[in-house]
Structure 1
Amino acid sequence: MKISVEEYSRVLQLSRTGRVGAAVVPAPPPIDAPEEPLPAVRVEVSPRAQEIRQIKFLLDELPDVREELVQELRQKIEAGEYQVSSAEIADLIVRRTVADNVR
């Protein structure tokens, strides 16, 4: 893309005056202008919120996958030692359903 001298002059005029034709555009603040300091804000966190924050931090530190358990189950499956009865599976499904409905 090429920018002509005329286009450059129009942009330069806009940046200096804040005007192009009848339109008024606010001039940007000078680059070296000091920023006004933000007022101090005081925030109080309840003990309960602090406790929740700490628990969340601890949970975030836990791995998503429990590698030890996965490795143990893999070994049992490969050795043919992993046996789960259908009654145990059904029992766990019922317990989970009841627990979900209680919430």
Structure 2
Amino acid sequence: MKISLDEYSRVLQLSRTGRVGAAVLPAPPPVDAQEEIPPAASVELSPRAQQIRQIKFILDEIPEVREEMVQELRRKIEAGEYNVSSAEIADLIVRRTIADNVR
């Protein structure tokens, strides 16, 4: 899977709002403040590391396969309604190539 800057920005936005479309994602599980941790075993995460942890939690909640999308495409293909123009495919190939080479 390729992740472009736009996709990364969307994930960051989702992590800030906790929303995907109309669905609200659950917050990361809270750390029990009452739990005793020996000083040698404690770790403090930087704000950036906390943000990465939250994004990872959000991404873990998103299914790898979007079943509703697969079913809709399957229905369109079986009904003969799925048509993608070669111009659209070429456009996406060019955009992906440009996005992959921008660094």
After TM superposition, the score normalised by the length of structure 1 is 0.60
Whichever of the two has the greater Rg, that structure is: 1
1:68 maps to: 68
Give, in whole Å, the separation in 1 of the partners of 2:44 and 2:50.
Answer: 10
Give, in whole Å, the separation in 2 of the partners of 1:44 and 1:79.
Answer: 56
Give, in whole Å, the separation in 1 of the partners of 2:78 and 2:58.
Answer: 34
Give, in whole Å, the separation in 2 of the partners of 1:49 and 1:41.
Answer: 18
- The alignment yields a C-alpha RMSD, in angstroms, of 1.5
Runs of at least 5 residues in structure 1 that lack an aligned partner in the other structure: 1-37
Report deviation, 1:56: 0.5
After TM superposition, the score normalised by the length of structure 2 is 0.60
Identity between Structure 1 and Structure 2 (%) = 82
Give, in whole Å, the separation in 2 of the partners of 1:102 and 1:73.
Answer: 31
Give, in whole Å, the separation in 2 of the partners of 1:77 and 1:67.
Answer: 15
Report deviation, 1:47: 1.1
1:84 maps to: 84
Look up the equivalent residue of 1:49 and give its one-letter code. A
Runs of at least 5 residues in structure 2 that lack an aligned partner in the other structure: 1-37
How many aligned positions are there? 66
List, as ranges, runs of 4+ consecutive aligned residues in structure 1 with deviation greater than 3 Å: none
Q: In 2 relative to 1, CA 39–91 (structure 1 residues): closer, same or farther, beyond 3 Å? A: closer
2:100 maps to: 100
Report deviation, 1:81: 0.4
Give, in whole Å, the separation in 2 of the partners of 1:45 and 1:66.
Answer: 32
Give, in whole Å, the separation in 1 of the partners of 2:81 and 2:96.
Answer: 26
Q: Deviations over 1:11-65 (max 9, x none)?
A: xxxxxxxxxxxxxxxxxxxxxxxxxxx8733321111110110100110111110
| Higher RCO by CA contacts (8 Å cutoff, separation 6 or greater) | 2
